[in-house]
């Protein structure tokens, strides 16, 4: 959607409907002051067609139309002839795979609601998967250390018992860095192409921070110097003031925490929505719980939101989350997954949720067969 139209979809989608000809509907609700903006669209994934697109504002419980495209017709809020004419031009120029929201957001005069939603989608919705690279996150981690906040990045890391007490950039030999870049595995990696493009755009005023081969480097070219300065990011640990460990030398759990710790830092100032897939990956159970608790504490001032998927059952605790915030993914005998709200069950407040869940009371647990049972079923 960033490009203003539907991307090319593969036929081996991880999430697909039983009937591939059925439309898929996406809808979000975003709060703004005392209003709720409702933006959604339905698409034919295989045919790459936007079937419907709409934007409404819920003001004091009453929905107000901003625009609604359906059956190749458009309805809009404004009664001004000039605005209607402009929107009609955008609408008539739309291809079947394009979104009107982007066209309106690019206009400086029409529907600030569209600008707000588009900006939220680009800047305030952050999705982190298990395969998400962290080059941008480490940039924020380094550059924002001195920014005013209740707790700095290092302060937060200390509370998770990582042993990290500070970070430093250590100057390294240029020839050694070039040897690393010439490694075939490095050249074939995802970070190399991004780093190469940064080099092409490089000038004396810039500093490049990049993830290469599992470590983080900063490259600068001070005025008057014949060669660039290359520095390796390292972390100081308690009990050792002289020795620094590079990112690649840290444990998987510490690496994972460094990947997502900036969420806790940034949500102190800005209320964004973060979606984290498999938040517990490489985490101890207690660290997962502590991360969620810290987020809820920091986000309370700015209405930040955290949406996660996890196998960690300890979060099923009414002292941590509300019942309507817990959803279970339940797979039926056909292998199809459904989202089941825990609020659909009549549960006492004193119930031990994770125990009942693992016992199968709410569904969503694996139906594990013995080898003998499997043979009999065949």
Q: What is the pLDDT of residue 150?
A: 54
Q: Is the pLDDT of residue 332 over 50?
A: yes
Q: Is the pLDDT of residue 76 over 50?
A: yes
Q: Is the pLDDT of residue 371 over 80?
A: no
Q: Is the model more confident about 367 or about 117?
A: 117
* Mean pLDDT along residues 40-48: 88
* Mean pLDDT along residues 308-313: 95
Domain ranges of the chain: 24-128, 163-249, 256-371
Q: What is the pLDDT of residue 143?
A: 46
Tens of pLDDT, residue by residue over 336-352, are 888 999 999 999 988 89
d(CA 73, CA 92) in angstroms, rounded, equals 10
* Mean pLDDT along residues 53-65: 90
Q: What is the pLDDT of residue 375?
A: 57
Long-range contacts formed by 4-13: CB under 8 A, 24+ apart = 4/98, 4/99, 4/102, 4/103, 5/95, 5/97, 5/98, 5/99, 6/43, 6/48, 6/49, 6/50, 6/97, 6/98, 8/48, 9/45, 9/46, 9/48, 11/46, 13/45
Q: What is the pLDDT of residue 146?
A: 44
């Amino acid at each position: 959607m960033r490009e203003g139209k539907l991307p090319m979809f593969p036929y081996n989608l991880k999430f697909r409907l039983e009937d591939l000809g059925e439309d898929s509907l996406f809808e979000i609700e975003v709060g703004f002051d005392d209003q709720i903006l409702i933006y959604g669209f339905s698409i034919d994934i295989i045919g790459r067609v936007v079937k419907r697109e709409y934007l409404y504002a819920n003001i004091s419980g009453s929905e107000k139309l901003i625009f609604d495209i359906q059956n190749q017709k458009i309805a809009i809020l404004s009664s001004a002839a000039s605005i209607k004419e402009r929107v009609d031009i955008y609408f008539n120029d739309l291809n079947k795979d394009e979104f009107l929201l982007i066209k309106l957001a690019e206009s400086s005069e029409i529907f600030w609601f569209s600008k707000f939603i588009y900006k939220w989608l680009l800047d305030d919705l952050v999705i982190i998967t298990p395969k998400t690279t962290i080059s941008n996150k480490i940039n924020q981690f380094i550059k924002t250390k001195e920014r005013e906040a209740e707790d700095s990045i290092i302060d937060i890391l200390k509370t998770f018992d990582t042993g990290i007490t500070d970070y430093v950039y250590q100057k390294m030999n240029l020839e050694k860095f070039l040897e690393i870049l010439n490694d075939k595995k490095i050249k074939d990696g995802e970070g190399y192409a991004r780093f190469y493009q940064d080099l092409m755009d490089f000038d004396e005023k810039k500093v490049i921070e990049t993830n290469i081969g599992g470590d983080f480097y900063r490259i600068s070219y001070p005025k008057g110097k014949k060669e660039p300065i290359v520095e390796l990011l390292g972390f100081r640990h308690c009990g050792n003031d002289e020795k620094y460990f590079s990112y690649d030398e840290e444990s998987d759990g510490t690496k994972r925490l460094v990947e997502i710790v900036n969420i806790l830092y940034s949500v102190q100032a800005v209320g964004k929505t973060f979606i984290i897939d498999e938040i517990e990956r490489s985490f101890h159970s207690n660290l997962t719980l502590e991360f969620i608790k810290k987020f809820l504490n920091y986000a309370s001032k700015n209405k930040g939101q955290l949406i996660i998927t996890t196998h960690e059952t300890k979060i099923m605790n009414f002292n941590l989350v509300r019942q309507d915030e817990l959803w279970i993914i339940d797979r039926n005998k056909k292998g199809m997954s459904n989202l089941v709200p825990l609020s659909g069950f009549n549960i006492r407040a004193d119930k031990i949720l994770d125990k009942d869940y693992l016992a199968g009371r709410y569904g969503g647990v694996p139906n594990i067969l013995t080898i003998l049972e499997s043979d009999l079923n065949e």
